[in-house]
Each structure stands twice: as C-alpha cells, then as structure tokens.
Amino acid sequence: MSVALQCKSVSKHFEGVKAVSNVSFDVQQGALHAVIGPNGAGKTTLFNCITSEYAPTSGEVLFEGNRISGRRPHDLPTFGASRSFQRTSIFANLTVAQNVWLSAFRQFAGNKVEIVRSADSHPEVAEVIARTLDEVGLARYADAPATELAHGDQRLLDFAIALAPKPRLLLLDEPTAGLSRTDTQRVMNLIEGFKGRYTIVLIEHKMDVVMRISDRLTVMYFGEVLAEGTPEEIRANPRVREAYLGRRA
Amino acid sequence: MNRLFNLPTLITIAVMIVFLPIVQRPVVAAEVLTLGIAALATNLLLGYTGLLSFGHAMFFGVGAYSAGILAVKFGFSAFAAIPLAVLITAVVSWLIGLVCVRRSGLYFIMITLAFNQMFYFIAYSWTSMTGGEDGLPGLRRPALIADQWSFYIFTVIVFLITIVLMKRFVDSPTGRILQAIRDNPARAAAIGYNVERYKLIAFAISGLFTGLAGAIFAFVFEIVPIDKIHLLFSGDIVFMTLIGGSASFIGPLIGAAFYTWLQETVSLYWDRWPMVLGIVFALVVLFFRTGIVGMAEALAQKALGKKAAKTASGEPAEARQ
C-alpha cells in the first residue's frame, strides 16, 4: 500500500486564534482515516483546509502527490476528490436524479460549458446516475423532488452526489450529524461498504461511531494532534481517555 | 427527446400572438413581445440563477441606442442594425458581468444599479449621439416591415426564435447548473462548478437577449426614448418578471402583457398610473409570490380537483431574494 493523502503541518489561525496547529497525518490508499475530537477541537477547520474552503495559514495537503489545499473549492474534484457536507447539502428544487446528474455531468464533461443540447441527452450520464442511486438505495425515488425525501434519505442523496463522479478520495464531514439512530446505522453501513474502494477521511464527533470502521484515527484537542493510531491504540491511550473518553467512562 | 414546451405554455404563446394585435394596435402588440423578451431574459437571471439585477434597463438601452445610432447616424438598415446592436450589448453585458458576479446578494443588486445610472448619464449627456433628454428620433423601418402588420410579423418571428433559444438554454446542462447554483452555491462549487463563471454566462446571455429586445423596441415607435435606459425601467422589467411569475418559463411574458395593458388603459384616465402599478406590485409581493402564472396554476389545480404534477423539470423555483 502507498500513501494517498498527506496532511503536512497544517495550521490555520484566525486573527491570532490558533484553530488548527501543526496537524500532520498520512492516509494509506484505500484506508479510512477518522479525525475525531470534542466540539471546538478544530476538526471542521481542518476539513475546510483540506477542501480549500479555507487556505491554511501554513502547511499543505497533498493527494497523490498533488497539492489540493490553498486552491478554490471548485478545484477539488479535478484531483479525484469528493466531499460531503455536515449539514445535508442538496439542491432542494431539483429531482433526486437531477441532484446526482450535477456531479455525474461534471465528471463527464469536465470544464466544458454546454448550452445547446438538452441536459438529459447523455446516456453515459444517465447510466452513472442510475448506478449511483442504486448503490445508496434511492433508485425508486429518482424522479421525486429532493425536498420530498425523508431526512435520512436526503443524507444518502448527499452521499450519492459525492459518489457519482467515482472519486478516489472521499472527504466526509460528520456524516451522521443530526441523524436518528436508524439513519446513523444506515449511513455507517454504507461507509463500511466503501472501505477499500475509496481513500476516506472522515471527520466525526461521535467516537463510538468511528471506532468500529476506522483503520486509523487522529484525535484533535484544542487545535492540536493529541494522538494518532489504530482504534485499539487510541482506546488504550491514557491522554485520549482523559481528554475525550474520560467524561464518558 | 423531450418536448421543448409543455401544452399550457404553447397555448399561452399561441393565444398571445394571435389575440394581442386584435385587442391592441399591432405596434403595441409588438411592444408587448419585445418587453416580453426583456422580461424573459431578466428571468434567466432572477428565476433560474437567483440573481436580482436592477441594471437591465442598461442592456435594453444599450441595445436600443446601438440600433438607433447605427440606423440614424450611420444609415444602417434595421436588419443590420439589430444584430449589430445585439453583439454590442453582449460585449457590454459580459464586461459588466465580470465586475458584478464577484459579489452576491445586496451588493450584486447595488452594483447593477450603479452601472445602470452610469449608462443613463452617458445617454443623457452625449447629446450629439443619443439626443439626450429628448431621446433619439428619426429611425425608419425598412420597406419590408414598414407597416404595422408586417412589423408585427417580423417581431413574432424574432420572438419565437428567441424563446426557443432561451428554453433550450434553460433545459441545457448550463441551465440546470444555474438552477443548482441558485439553490445551493456552496455545494455546486464543491461538485466542481466555477460559480462565478456560470453566473457570468447567465449574466451575459441575459444581457444579450435584453439588448435584442431593446434593439427591436427602437423600431417599434421609431424612437429611442431616454426613459428606457433609466433605472426606473429596470424596476419595470423586474415588475413584469415578478408579476407574471418568475417560477415559470413563460410567466414574465404574461407580466409584460399585463404591464403594457395597465399602461395603455389606466394611463388614459389617470396620469399617476404608476401608482396602480405600485399597488398591484405590493399585492403580488405580499400575497401572490408566484405571480399571475402561479395563481392560474393554483386555480387550475383546484378546478381540476386534483393535485396536478408539480412544476415540470426545467422550470425554475420561486425566486428568492
């Protein structure tokens, strides 16, 4: 296995506040790496540095040797990366299939702008949409307006949008945030099914959720890396227990 | 292949084209269609992209003055002046769009408004070319379309070509991407679409068609009045778009007809007819957000006693400010 994603000494400061300080980790190709930590640990800021929502104050993020940090958010898919959003982020006024069409078409057409042909005139794109909706289990809702989906199904649609372009890197920001227990289980099963096929970086707040499925974890605390290791190592780490698990034990 | 227009839209277009010149003079009918083109073009931005522009009188005016100046000062025929004017407006709207699309929300509105004022003052002070306050008179329609009816038929042909092009545009990949940007710009960017670039495309195409409307309008009454490049007319175009219904493709055309009808009838009895306009506008914004078309759809659904299918694909959702 080779290293796919490298976070190299990423720091992000906001007017003197060190939201993220010197965070480094490597993710092997096909591995699932979780970044966990209590609220305010800087997980989401780190995520935003990886996805170019923010430019890091220092440090960089490499994927397959290319720098993906410090660019514009719309450059990310060019490197074979897709992201999901913490709060479900879909296109409310479009149908389920049209939601997925957006990312499938982007992958199909690249930067080309098409203004004459009908949006649905590409059978290749339709095929990708059908396959993706099948994978997340939303095929029967293809023509329903996205707003009519149940909350958990909307999160699955959010995933489908990220999956359609066949990314090599999946960046998932608290995929189970705000979901019921049943829906959390559905989403975790889906992510478990991704393992090996995608390199995944997962930001998560709920520790129990990630311990089972992660290959490695980085624990953040007040913007810094507190520990890194396999789930067993993390579970056994006294500093993690103190900072994070301690409150629950 | 999907049908380009659904049946109610086709019927609306056919009825308007046939009956407009009967209930009004053919030139007024031609005016409705040109204003309709401008309102439909404005809705490409407002309804489909979610951008409210208060600068569309600028594009209407640039189209009208370009056509007028080419015809009056340089002796071009309408058939040459109109396409050239469209070209000029396309370049102008692309350049102005470059600046405007960098901002969103209120700032976007204010920049379009400021540019509109700038162009108004150019038209106002450059009297040797534009005729200043008095407008630019002296246009002549070519012999082929000199009389009212043949000019109306010419306008209908241009109108039909325009709405086919516009509908194809909104049904195209770019049209759908614009609707996605309207609904959720952050996600559209994360998927890989350059939001500013797409907004610029929408802005330039919207400006281009508005310029076409202006260029034809110059030949409707064979004069370019200065108030058609004024900020207030930008407001009028937005009024037409919203009152007709920005949530449907064809709504703005109905809005343009309604606006012209108000102007033609109420202004005969009352000089302050814009007050009626204001009251109607306030009522629409307060109670009928979906405009005339939205109301008609709701009534039709009630009358049919069933929940008709929601808006077909490619129809924009209700515009949000």
Residues of chain B with confidence (pLDDT) below 70? 1-2, 305-321
Nearest CB to A118 within list B171, B177, B182: B171
Instruction: Find which of B94, B102, B168, B191 to mutate to test the A interface (most A CBs within 10 Å of its CB).
Output: B191
- CB contacts < 8 A (A, B): 107
Report the pLDDT value the prediction gives residue B55, as an integer from 0 to 100: 94
The interface residues of chain B toward chain A in range 93-122, judged by CB-CB distance below 8 A, are: none
Q: Which residues of chain A are within 8 Å of residue B200 when distances are taken between CB atoms?
A: none
Measure the CA–CA gap between B179 and B172, rounded to whole angstroms: 11
Do the strands A169-173 and A3-14 form a parallel or antiparallel pair, or are they unpaired? Answer: unpaired
Report the pLDDT value the prediction gives residue A1, as an integer from 0 to 100: 63
Q: Which letter does DSSP use for residue A195 in this model?
A: B
Nearest CB to B176 within list A101, A103, A107: A101
Measure the CA–CA gap between B56 and B53, rounded to whole angstroms: 6
Report the pLDDT value the prediction gives residue A245, as an integer from 0 to 100: 55
Q: Please tell me the pTM assigned to this model.
A: 0.90
Residue contact B194–A103, C-beta within 8 A: no
Q: Secondary structure of B291-320 in the HEC alphabet?
A: HHHHHHHHHHHHHHCCCCCCCCCCCCCCCC
Q: What are the pLDDT digits (tens) for A177-221? A: 888 889 888 888 899 988 889 999 999 887 777 888 899 999 998
Instruction: Find which of B187, B311, B313 to mutate to test the A interface (most A CBs within 10 Å of its CB).
Output: B187
Residue B87 corresponds to which tokens in the numbers above?
Answer: 């070209």
| Torsion sign over Cα A210, A215, A221, A222 | negative
Query: Span A11-30, mean pLDDT?
Result: 91
Count the alpha carbons within 13 Å of A191 in the hemisphere toward its beta carbon.
Answer: 34
Residue A21 corresponds to which tokens in the numbers above?
Answer: 């300080």
B319: Cβ contacts below 8 Å, ≥ 6 apart: B46, B47, B50, B52, B242, B246, B247
Report the pLDDT value the prediction gives residue B110, as an integer from 0 to 100: 95
ipTM of the complex: 0.89
Instruction: Count the neighbouring beta carbons within 10 Å of the beta carbon of residue A92.
Output: 13
Q: What is the CA radius of gyration of chain B?
A: 19
Q: What are the pLDDT digits (tens) for A30-88? A: 999 999 988 888 999 999 999 999 999 999 999 999 999 999 999 999 999 999 888 88
User: Which whole-number Å values give the CA distances from B284 to B253, B255, B295, in the listed order?
Assistant: 16, 11, 10
By the CB < 8 Å criterion, does B180 face chain A? yes
Q: Say whether A225 sits in a helix, a strand or coil.
A: strand
Report the pLDDT value the prediction gives residue A246, as an integer from 0 to 100: 56
Average pLDDT, chain A: 90
DSSP output for A6-66:
EEEEEEEEETTEEEEEEEEEEEETT-EEEEE-STTSSHHHHHHHHTTSS--SEEEEEETTE
Chain A residue with minimal CA distance to B247? A93
Instruction: Find which of A53, A54, A72, A93 to mutate to test the B interface (most B CBs within 10 Å of its CB).
Output: A93
Nearest CB to A102 within list B169, B186, B191: B191
